[in-house]
Structure 1
């Protein structure tokens, strides 16, 4: 399953919001430095979808706010 995610790093709180069927907005307090925000996005999506972190992979947009994520 593939979903699109819009990331808002440096937010005041960590939050995942479903916008459409396969489109989510993720707010994270982590700053986008050395992949820390990407790691936090994977962690938050893992908790939200109740899927192990090892089954979630960013396949597009590693350095962009618009990301495509694959869930195995």
Structure 2
């Protein structure tokens, strides 16, 4: 099961974020202990003052080819587990996420 859901505005992505991860990148898909699938993301930014959230939204905007304003945190602003909304063509965004995460299977 994909860790993203489709809507009329775009997609919603479940993430597990590693701040201070040494580099900015998408590390594939992981299945959590409760069975939920999440996209593993790491950023160099620290988890203070919203820096890691900003880095995550910028990373996803660049990777998916959308404007920064089209990526926002829906929930989990102070947690490693986040829901991120990305506005745009849902089919295209889903295909991009599949290709970005397929290179590194869990």
Using the size of structure 2 for normalisation, the TM-score is 0.62
> In the alignment, which of 44, 49, 74 is matched to residue 34 of structure 1?
49
- Three-state SS of the structure 2 residue aligned to 1:44 is helix
Runs of 4+ in structure 1 deviating by more than 2 angstroms, as ranges, are none
Paired residues, what number? 71
**Matching of residue 58 in structure 1 with residue 73 in structure 2:** yes
Structure 2: 5+ residue runs without aligned partners?
1-10, 31-36, 88-106
Q: 5 Å matches for 1:1-72?
A: 1-19=11-29, 23-72=38-87
What is the deviation of 1:35?
Answer: 0.3
Partner deviation per Cα, 1:12-58 (whole Å, 9 max, x = no partner)? 111113317x7321111111010010000000011111111100110
Greater C-alpha radius of gyration: 2
Relative to the length of structure 1, the TM-score reads 0.89
Q: Greater strand share, 1 or 2?
A: 1
Query: Greater helix share, 1 or 2?
Result: 2
CA distance in 2 between counterparts of 1:63 and 1:42 reads: 14
